[in-house]
Structure 1
């Protein structure tokens, strides 16, 4: 990446997932990146989206390593829960499954923002980004279905916008972005790829997303972009 302070430091949450691991690999191979830390449920320290204390502890640990982190990427998310895929109809809704979808896809990232946003640089460009999904766009929804996943990602998009508005006062160059990686060949999308018009390699999608983030700045904070750099409607 060229737009961040060189050398820059990066954190990837969800580093063992298909997209998270690909992000880490790109950053490790970037000569401009001084250090990349990958965190997840089995890292040290661990980060569990369902356990705020673990997120707070990890944020404290990161602060001990360095006072500021130029790029913070949240690559977490879940689509299938306990064998339950996305609902096709309203009558398929299970409140427990829906609540867990919100806990992982919206509340968890909100807690990441709560504890990690203070680590973004105050006096230079810093990026706080999370993986959303096109199906989370209310304006773009023409098919219905997938209520829990759509709604949880729509909530995440609102969290991104709200975080961006708050940080503009304390971190004037912060760039807070929701990202759409496309349908990628990962475990999350495996049961649903057959109907996808295009399936991307995680290495390709994440590389393109990093290029998109490199082109954006604080004037784009709070917006939603796909891997081709197109702004998507919320």
Structure 2
């Protein structure tokens, strides 16, 4: 791996991934809202920022996302579901990575191994959902998984060595999760980044379109 693009590079996992890659001698390009003005929910912003880059990139990693947006906490019951909260989740967690994928395809090499990976979440798994609740966040991540799976099929027709996956990082100790970790064991961002890089490095084209956790185990849809 020589060149990597990190979307959401100022966040906990994004910054840790950037640092881990740089330590391994990878040239890292980072984009984020706070540092560069990238708004992944605005296609004009995505097109402008990605259009200004010079690829190709061996790895494009999307770490943007949120669990709580505009003060709307994950719903504990159907009574708490609102159109605005659900739309906000879809904009950031589904539409954002989808627009990045659309506009970054030109930066993936036509030949030679490359990886497009977007952070998803185990709670986005329909098959693994035994608790219910968290409707908007769960649904936005399930929709992201479908986008990744479908895009992998199309991308394989033109980029035969490209791997397109959704990744679950585990519960990482960041501002993103501090209110909701409860009794779940957490790992620091640098450890999560190392785990994810190990998974990414082991992926093959046969894994493209899949959903994997930080241990490399496949997560049910």
Pairwise same-fold verdict (TM > 0.5): yes
TM-score by length of 1: 0.92
1:18–1:202 CA contact under 8 A, matched in 2: yes
The one-character-per-residue Cα deviations of 1:194-215 (angstroms, maximum 9, x if unpaired) are 231x111111011110010000
Q: Secondary structure at the match of 1:81?
A: coil
Superposition CA RMSD, Å: 1.0
Alignment correspondent of 1:18: 12
Structure 2 CA distance for aligned equivalents of residues 57 and 30 of structure 1: 29
The one-character-per-residue Cα deviations of 1:65-103 (angstroms, maximum 9, x if unpaired) are x3x111000001110112221000111101101101000
Give unmatched runs, 5+ long, in structure 2. none
Q: Does 2:186 correspond to 1:208?
A: no
Alignment correspondent of 1:179: 167
TM-score by length of 2: 0.97
1:175 positional shift: 0.4
Q: Secondary structure at the match of 2:64?
A: coil
Q: Does 2:154 correspond to 1:166?
A: yes
141, 149, 152: which one aligns with 1:153: 141
1:118 positional shift: 2.0
Q: Secondary structure at the match of 2:128?
A: coil
Give unmatched runs, 5+ long, in structure 1. none
1:117–1:128 CA contact under 8 A, matched in 2: no
2:13–2:193 CA contact under 8 A, matched in 1: yes
Structure 2 CA distance for aligned equivalents of residues 144 and 117 of structure 1: 35
1:130 positional shift: 0.4
1:186 positional shift: 0.4
Alignment correspondent of 1:42: 34
2:10–2:35 CA contact under 8 A, matched in 1: no
Alignment correspondent of 2:208: 221
The one-character-per-residue Cα deviations of 1:38-78 (angstroms, maximum 9, x if unpaired) are 1011334x321121111111121113xx3x11100000111
Structure 1 runs of 4+ with >3 Å offset: none
1:125 positional shift: 0.5
Alignment correspondent of 1:57: 48
How many correspondences in the alignment?
A: 221
Structure 1 CA distance for aligned equivalents of residues 180 and 120 of structure 2: 17
1:117 positional shift: 1.8
Q: Secondary structure at the match of 1:43?
A: helix
Q: Does 2:21 correspond to 1:30?
A: no
